[in-house]
Structure 1
Amino acid sequence: MVTVLPVPAPPVPARSWAGLCLFCLPGAGASAGLFGGWDRHLPAAVEVYAIEPPGRGLRSDEKPLTCLDDLLDDLQRAVMPYARYPMAFLGHSFGAVLAFELALRLERAGAPVRRLFTAAARSAAGRDGSPPGREPTDEELKARLRALGGTPEPVLDSDEMMALLLPAVRADFFLADRYRYRPGSLLACPVTAFAGTEDQAVSWEAVQAWGVCTRGRFTAHQVPGGHFFPFFPQAARTPFLRAVAEELGPYTSSYTGAESGRPDTPERE
């Protein structure tokens, strides 16, 4: 099961197994629901947590945040109850930048961060912010979503649906456009970056530039699919998650599987 964070739950119970928590962050305007079913493709030793930012999905009644530090504070509060366990972070598109910044914070706090995965994302180090300009119109935001290719046309054409989605989209694009990398901000953990071979929004070179964001080992992979290859179609998602599972293998090799009904190896299709 994929757990959506934050949740109003009791303190996280102590665990006896040598597993790992994988925290996943969606891209601009997207919801944690995109990560549903990922646990079926990953080893039983990996507990998958999808982080829901304010203003969408299960938190649609909250106001989206346009201050990066406030948003990172919110995300960190969701993760901190699990900070005594080995953890990895995965982000899609701008969610990868948030995952990077969150992993930096956790490393500085002494948490056991083992790896960062980025998917369909320009490197944080290649972002220097954009000068303040006028606020984009709803139609301009829709055009930007349409160009990325992840929002169904019926949704884009629905005024009711877009009224629900656009506040989070607007806030996230604001943050993405104005994000400025702080030189010297380096992770200690390894970073693995994935690029879609048919992604028209993010170049292979921009994905490879994640290598300058870590003092650890860096690897980059190209996988079939466009900008949303981690989610659909299934033919693109499955090999991507198998690659993630392989990268996580060394951190979960001592897990016995005794505490879970899930298989010890990723599901094969």
Structure 2
Amino acid sequence: MSELTDVWFRRFRRVAQPRLRLVCLPHAGGAASMFRTWPQWLPDDVELLGACYPGRQDRLGDPCVTEMAVLADALTGALLPLAEQPLALFGHSMGASVAFEVAHRLEHRHGVVPGVVFVSGQQPPARYRNSQAHLRGDEGLLAEVDRLGGDGTRFLDSPEMRELLMPAIRGDFALMGNYRPDPGLRIGAPVEAWVGDADCDVTVEETRAWAEATTGPFGLRVFSGDHFYLTSGTGTEELALRVNERLSPAAAGTP
């Protein structure tokens, strides 16, 4: 990988000759490490990379990005050296919006169409509702994080961890609060839109509307769980196995 690619992505499985690369984009306040266990459930010929946004983990000293266009442009540029092999993108919550914006840039600026784009726990551009939690101070942000749920909220009970994590949470929620997607954007890649059946932030009907954001094939899957269905209980394994299923060479439309 190039130096720029190394900055923006963590490779959790290295494959000498990958059939495709799965690039995963975390939620607001999240980190690449949330995908570190996925290799055990993925096809052996799929290379796995997690996006490392600024302001967390080993990029703790880098200023957070608060504009979607800046983040999507940077990630797109960092992905281009990897585009000699087919790409698939997976994004959850904020990461789903980022994945869609990156997919649009790859296709319309560089002629690279991902084999599939997984969008999880997020409204599509035409239905997007931007949160104003970033305008309510840290207490408002913490209340929003608590409302959305997920195992990660327990780390915020520690003052030390809260001090470490809050810059990324502030930056990411500001990014999503500032985000004004073009409702007319379309990509040619197949889209798989996934959601938890008890998600307090995204409805199944809103998730189904991702079909309007692609001119390619569309699939909808509803999982058991809340907004963070993919990190609770056996949710990670179930979701990763479904990704495996979709990326299998036998799957229709697989690159």
TM-score range, shorter chain: 0.7 to 0.9
Per the TM alignment, residue 153 of structure 1 is displaced from its structure 2 partner at its CA by: 5.2
Per the TM alignment, residue 250 of structure 1 is displaced from its structure 2 partner at its CA by: 3.7
- 1:127 is aligned to 128
Cα separation, 1, equivalents of 2:180 and 2:46? 32
- 1:237 is aligned to 236
Which SS does the other structure have where 2:77 is aligned? helix
| 1:12-91 superposed matches below 5 A | 17=17, 19-91=19-91
Cα separation, 2, equivalents of 1:170 and 1:252? 40
Cα separation, 1, equivalents of 2:133 and 2:17? 51
On the 8 A contact 1:104/1:187 being kept in 2, the answer is yes
Which SS does the other structure have where 1:225 is aligned? coil
- 2:218 is aligned to 218
Which SS does the other structure have where 1:125 is aligned? helix
Per the TM alignment, residue 152 of structure 1 is displaced from its structure 2 partner at its CA by: 4.6
Structure 1 length as normaliser, TM-score? Answer: 0.82
Deviates more, 1:100-109 or 1:164-173: 164-173
Cα separation, 2, equivalents of 1:195 and 1:21? 23
Cα separation, 1, equivalents of 2:240 and 2:104? 24
Cα separation, 1, equivalents of 2:137 and 2:172? 14
Deviates more, 1:190-199 or 1:24-33: 190-199
Per the TM alignment, residue 8 of structure 1 is displaced from its structure 2 partner at its CA by: 5.7
Distance change >3 Å, CA 41–CA 133, structure 1 → 2: closer
Relative contact order (C-alpha < 8 Å, sep 6+): which is higher?
1
On the 8 A contact 2:123/2:202 being kept in 1, the answer is yes
Identical residues among aligned pairs (%): 36
> Which protein is richer in helix relative to its size?
2
- 2:12 is aligned to none
On the 8 A contact 1:25/1:90 being kept in 2, the answer is yes
The one-letter amino acid of 2:212's match is V
Cα separation, 1, equivalents of 2:97 and 2:150? 19
Per the TM alignment, residue 209 of structure 1 is displaced from its structure 2 partner at its CA by: 1.3
The yes-or-no answer on 1:116 pairing with 2:125 is no
Which SS does the other structure have where 2:34 is aligned? helix
Cα separation, 2, equivalents of 1:245 and 1:70? 31
On the 8 A contact 1:85/1:112 being kept in 2, the answer is no
Which SS does the other structure have where 1:180 is aligned? coil
- 1:265 is aligned to none
RMSD: 2.5
Structure 2 length as normaliser, TM-score? Answer: 0.86
Per the TM alignment, residue 47 of structure 1 is displaced from its structure 2 partner at its CA by: 0.8
- 2:175 is aligned to 175
Structure (1 or 2) with the larger CA radius of gyration:
1
Distance change >3 Å, CA 24–CA 174, structure 1 → 2: same
